[in-house]
Amino acid sequence: MGKAKNLRSRLNSYFANPATLLPKTHAMVHHAASVQWTIVGSELEALQLEYTWIKEFAPRYNLAFRDDKTYPYLAVSMSEKFPRVQVMRGERRKGTKYFGPYTAGAIRETMDTLLRVFPVRSCSTGVLRRAERSGRPCLLGYIDKCAAPCVGRISIEDHKALAQDFCDFMGGEAKRFIGTLEKRMSAAVAELDYEQAARVRDDIIALRKVFERNAVVLTEDTNADIFAVEQDDLEAAVQVFFVRGGRIRGQRGWVVEKVEDASNAELWEHLMQQVYGGEEQQQDAIPRQILVPELPANHEYLAQWLGELRQGKVSIKVPQRGEKAALMDTVQINARQAMALHKSRRAGDLTTRSLALQELQEALDLPMPLLRIECFDISHVQGTNVVASMVVVEDGIAKKSEYRKFAITGEAAIDDTASMYDVITRRFRNYLAEKETRAQGTLASGELVAGGAEDTVEAPKSKFAYPPNLVVVDGGIPQVNAAARALADLGITDVAVIGLAKRLEEVWVPESDFPVILPRSSEGLYLLQRIRDEAHRFAITFHRAKRGKAMVASVLDTVPGLGAAKQKTLLAHFGSLKKVRAATVEELAQAKGVGPVLAQAIHDTVNASDQNLTPAPAINMTTGEILD
């Protein structure tokens, strides 16, 4: 068990050349069967969760905290005459306020940073008494890291107030202190006291740095289970964080199959019954609060039932704001990660992929195995910037090097069926052209070899590989018929076509009145959904890029020989397009990278754009005659 800000970097340190690993790391990596991770909202939450799990599970390869050591806390002994700030471990003492936990390095840095703003005493009792006897402060007093109450630089009351400010800042009132310092900095700037303003500015930076590190999870009296779910049409990934005493004590995640036509409220009702209704469920395992993103069906009766099991009141709530809502967002991220991991494992399993391909072949009654599947999707916004995508799956695995994207214009962009016909036609027309080119190249190569020539003629590299066994289109029967008509017009008869309609996940075949219904738990249906979603993602990405480029079009884009880099240089030289339009050819040629020929082309293009509008003819208002 460990924590990391960058999971990839942390894992790379383990999955390296085995010869370079330390003996402990070598043994751990070779015994590991899988990797699991939990995402939390801050470094503090990661520290708490790691400490809790190491204490609970005592993992073999974790050496830290298997004894009675704990993470260090930042403590302020408010019960003393001169309160002291120090680093403490172990049992808590009465009259002392604790903040943390921290790592050993982080707590020293936090304490050193805060003492410049809140110079509370941090020396030991022996050092304090020696300073009182000698009348001279210790080194910290001389470098302004201590207010030196031992020699009377600050009164007992003022020092206790300073220590209370320290505790208030660590307790969550950081914004109040930072706001006060910002006002002092503004006042110093107004009085032209820039040295004092710079010192206050540095204090603000220091406090903000500590404030970001000192994020509190929840209050210590909070006992709650926080749920989140990430779902698609067939499955739902559930995640729950167990918070006890304000700390994350554990996490659990699993994937369930959704009940057909069940609402989200009914889904949460079933989950509550499954999680808390088991015979092995312990009474103390049900917390006072259960936080969910949406109230379950019959939540009042459900809370009453859980209260009877717990023998105490139980509330089911939806957090709207604050720390609990922020922690639920973290749980939602874990649910999203769990769903992605589940899908990747399901897609990567060889047995599952083989079963999915076999189910599809049998359901569609196809004579050949589905070695290659291509899926097409159309994307646009109200008929503008129409594009299409083609994604490829071979042996059930995406082959991204074969992905293609198409820009659609003219009559083909009228509607989705016309666009689908155009895309299928272009894809397979290119395939037929490349097939003919390869045949001619092979024939020429054979003639040269037969004649004894040493050189051979190679066919050009293909932009499209061999044709698929199955074409999948995103849509219903209109899109399917358009794709089938395109293949028939090209004379291609050995490629099957189907469509996957989103609303009911129905599989349509050409010229059919009824869809092919695959079971909801079918691996074949899951494979089709995954291909369809990937085609949709690829098309949306291309559409957004094209739409964004169209929104920032410029007249300079139409100048022959003027690329993006020279456009940037030209605008930087003149400052605006208006000044470029007003410049002469000689002035344009003075810009870096712009010669006389290009300058003339720029001048002609930008000035011609102003003359595209034909001026209205002059009219004699008396006779109505059009004047020259």
pLDDT digits (tens, 9 = 90+) for 478-519: 999 999 999 999 998 889 999 988 767 788 888 888 888 888
Picking from 48, 59, 38, the residue whose alpha carbon sits closest to that of residue 252 is 38
- pLDDT in the model for residue 453: 40
Dihedral over Cα of 573, 578, 582, 584: its sign: positive
- pLDDT in the model for residue 70: 59
234 contacts 526 by C-beta, under 8 angstroms = yes
**CB contact set of 619 (below 8 Å; sequence gap of 6+):** 625, 626, 627
- pLDDT in the model for residue 105: 59
- pLDDT in the model for residue 284: 56
Task: Say yes or no to pLDDT of 450 above 50.
Answer: no
CB atoms within 10 A of CB 148: 22
CB atoms within 10 A of CB 438: 14
Residue 253 falls inside a structural domain: yes
Judgement on whether residues 341 and 430 belong to the same structural domain of the protein: no
Judgement on whether residues 202 and 90 belong to the same structural domain of the protein: yes
Judgement on whether residues 197 and 234 belong to the same structural domain of the protein: no
Residue 617 falls inside a structural domain: no
Judgement on whether residues 421 and 478 belong to the same structural domain of the protein: yes
Regarding predicted confidence, which is higher, 611 or 616? 611
Task: Say yes or no to pLDDT of 628 above 50.
Answer: no
- pLDDT in the model for residue 381: 81
Q: What tokens appear for 191 in the block?
A: 């009085």
Q: Which residues pair with 377 in a beta bridge?
A: 389
**CB contact set of 466 (below 8 Å; sequence gap of 6+):** 372, 431
Give the CATH number of the domain where residue 414 resides.
Answer: 3.30.420.340
Task: Say yes or no to pLDDT of 550 above 80.
Answer: no
What's phi and psi for 393, nearest 5 deg?
-125, 125
Distance CA 307, CA 378 (A): 52
Give the CATH number of the domain where residue 582 resides.
Answer: 1.10.150.20
Looking at the 3D structure of the chain, how many domains does it have?
A: 5
Which of 65-79, 214-228, 281-295 is modeled with the greatest confidence?
281-295
Judgement on whether residues 120 and 27 belong to the same structural domain of the protein: no
Each residue's pLDDT tens digit, 182-214: 888 888 888 888 888 888 888 888 777 766 554
- pLDDT in the model for residue 457: 44
Task: Say yes or no to pLDDT of 107 above 60.
Answer: yes
Among 19-28, 217-226, 285-294, 393-402, the range scoring the smallest mean pLDDT is 217-226
Residue 466 falls inside a structural domain: yes
In terms of residue numbers, what domain contains 478? 367-545
What distance lies between CA 517 and its chain's CA centroid?
34
What distance lies between CA 525 and its chain's CA centroid?
27
Q: Which helix (H) or strand (E) holds 266?
A: helix 264-276
Each residue's pLDDT tens digit, 404-447: 989 988 888 888 889 999 999 999 988 888 777 777 766 555 55
Judgement on whether residues 524 and 385 belong to the same structural domain of the protein: yes
Distance CA 36, CA 328 (A): 20
Judgement on whether residues 378 and 520 belong to the same structural domain of the protein: yes
Residue that is written with structure tokens 């964080």 in the block: 241
Per-chain mean pLDDT for the chain: 79
User: Where residue 618 falls among pLDDT bands split at 50, 70, 90?
Assistant: very low
Each residue's pLDDT tens digit, 123-135: 888 888 888 888 8
Judgement on whether residues 134 and 244 belong to the same structural domain of the protein: no
